[in-house]
Structure 1
Amino acid sequence: MTKPAPQTRDSDGTVGKALAVLDQIAEAGRPVRFGEVLAASNHPKATLYRLVQTLTNQGMLSYDETHQTYAPGLRLVRLAHAAWRQSALAPVARPFLDQLSADVGETIHLAQLDRGQVLYVDKRNAATPIEMFSQAGKIGPGYCTGVGKAMIAHLSQDAQEDAIRRQAFFAHTPNTLATPEALLAELTEIRADGVAFDREEHEPGIICIAVPILSEAGKVMGGLSITSSVQRQSLEELDALRPALLKTAKEIAAAAETWQFPS
């Protein structure tokens, strides 16, 4: 477990520290021992132990005495289900994703923006699936995915600047936009054109066309993409699916207009 713990502000206090520990354990993707958490933590051992015990006592973590490991608890699962119903676009968008998937036969992603990163909230596999990073529930980078760029391009100036500051700008492939300046230049083009492309920027061989899902007031609710591989499609062929993608994004936005979107 080498990933460092999420950073918190001093003003976040004990709650912020506990949530950062919860994030750290959840992101491991498997049960972890206390020593693994400690190795990646910024907290002293006594402080971390106190936070972990509090989370366990509250049901946010579960402890396996046999293996001496911690994992997300059932209370967290209940909260996740409640959040999914109230805060995720997925329940609203489901029938529209089904129809788009049937119409185009390629992989469909539905995403929302989480602190400048892409949270995949739903996915439809292609008729002939291809292996790729994205899965519902996973977090992806905002700066080198089509759906991330589509959403960031349509944020307000302050929100966009904040999102850009949160990017890692690691060059995943030779095509990755690996500087804030390169990303900002493309975001300007995306906002003017209305669509974004992933030109093998996150994964070699994977391309997509993406659009934002916008409220009537222009607020970014989420993003929608059609993804394929260079072995099956070209960017020009994906661009031919633009009308279907834009239509579906508008349908989802209209259906979600009365939904209480979290700010």
Structure 2
Amino acid sequence: MNDMGTRSGDGTVGKALDVLDQVAGHGRPMRFAEVLAASPLPKATLYRLLQTLVNQGMLRLDAETGAYSPGLRLVRLAHMAWARSSLAPIARPFLDELSKDVCETIHLAQLDRGQVLYVDKRNARQPIEMFSGAGKVGPGYCTGVGKAMLAHLPDDERAAALPLQAFHAHTGHTITSAEALEAELAEIRAAGIAFDREEHEPGIICIAAPILSPGGRVMGALSITTSTDRRSLEDLATLKPRMIATAARIAEAASAWQFPDRTET
């Protein structure tokens, strides 16, 4: 796999998707020189891929500024994927109810190649500045939702996900080795919940619960997030029954619609 994430053998399609990721995830339109500076691709190859993505409506080129941004086709596909593959539409009423009851930030996440994809968020009445937001990708090893999902993966999938973790020390509380993470994941499986103990951002803590299908398959995770100025980890622990109950209700609704368990054929 190269620096941009393409697996060997993915060819032109993989390279084009990497370029698409680069531009769409930048946060603002990018000029060609900016894309080139961050890309391992030769100039001619990159230009050709950008032109193809523009022609296909996946990217838009502003004729006046010369900058690339997500195209309408990409936006439309993203919306359809969110509606059909994300837990967010199913979980919306349960998130609203939980947010109203606890008055804290609620996150809904799914796992993507060992990393956390935040698919929905409810802000507290008094929002706290933090990294997470719907559509953002965060680390699995040092977030409550990430650990809750990793803990409940089948052994082979968990073994494949651990090498994908960066184990960068974001704070003094961050887990920085696969061995330490494995030990905590075992505790999480036994407890049914996970905590973020200021592991990703200083002053930010959370309690998280996995969303599991009736057969135990990981569909996502739910968290209540706050700051150490407002609550303690002990305070959050008292919310465990509510977390588990809400996760179960989301799982029930999701299993009945678009996340059925796989069956043997």
TM-score range, shorter chain: over 0.9
Partner of residue 173, structure 2: 175
Partner of residue 27, structure 1: 25
> How far is the alpha carbon of 1:6 from its aligned partner?
2.0
* Percent identical: 69
Aligned partners of 1:260 and 1:12: how far apart in 2?
Answer: 29
Runs of 4+ in 1 over 6 A off after TM superposition: none
1:212-235 Cα distance to aligned partner (Å, 9 max, x none):
000001100000000111111010
Aligned partners of 2:106 and 2:171: how far apart in 1?
Answer: 22
> What amino acid sits opposite 1:115 in the alignment?
R
Tell me if structure 2 keeps the 8 A contact 1:5–1:24. Answer: no
Asked if 1:131 corresponds to 2:129, the answer is yes
> What amino acid sits opposite 1:85 in the alignment?
A
Partner of residue 12, structure 2: 14
| Local SS of the residue matching 2:145 | helix
| Local SS of the residue matching 1:11 | coil
> What amino acid sits opposite 1:103 in the alignment?
D
Aligned partners of 1:195 and 1:231: how far apart in 2?
Answer: 22
> How far is the alpha carbon of 1:5 from its aligned partner?
5.8
Aligned partners of 2:127 and 2:51: how far apart in 1?
Answer: 42
Aligned partners of 1:9 and 1:136: how far apart in 2?
Answer: 27
Aligned partners of 2:70 and 2:181: how far apart in 1?
Answer: 35
Partner of residue 120, structure 1: 118
> What amino acid sits opposite 2:136 in the alignment?
K
> How far is the alpha carbon of 1:73 from its aligned partner?
0.4
Stretch deviating more after TM superposition (156-165 or 75-84): 156-165
1:19-54 Cα distance to aligned partner (Å, 9 max, x none):
011001111111001111111111111111111110
Asked if 1:94 corresponds to 2:92, the answer is yes
Gaps of 5+ in 1: none
Q: How does 1:44-123 map to 2 (within 5 A)?
A: 44-123=42-121
Which of 159, 162, 167 is the equivalent residue of 2:160?
Answer: 162
| Local SS of the residue matching 2:9 | helix
TM-score relative to the length of structure 2: 0.95
TM-score relative to the length of structure 1: 0.96
1:151-195 Cα distance to aligned partner (Å, 9 max, x none):
000001111112111111110000000111111111111111110
> What amino acid sits opposite 2:144 in the alignment?
G
Which of 185, 208, 211 is the equivalent residue of 2:209?
Answer: 211
1:64-95 Cα distance to aligned partner (Å, 9 max, x none):
11111001100000001110110010000000
Asked if 1:37 corresponds to 2:8, the answer is no
Aligned residues: 260
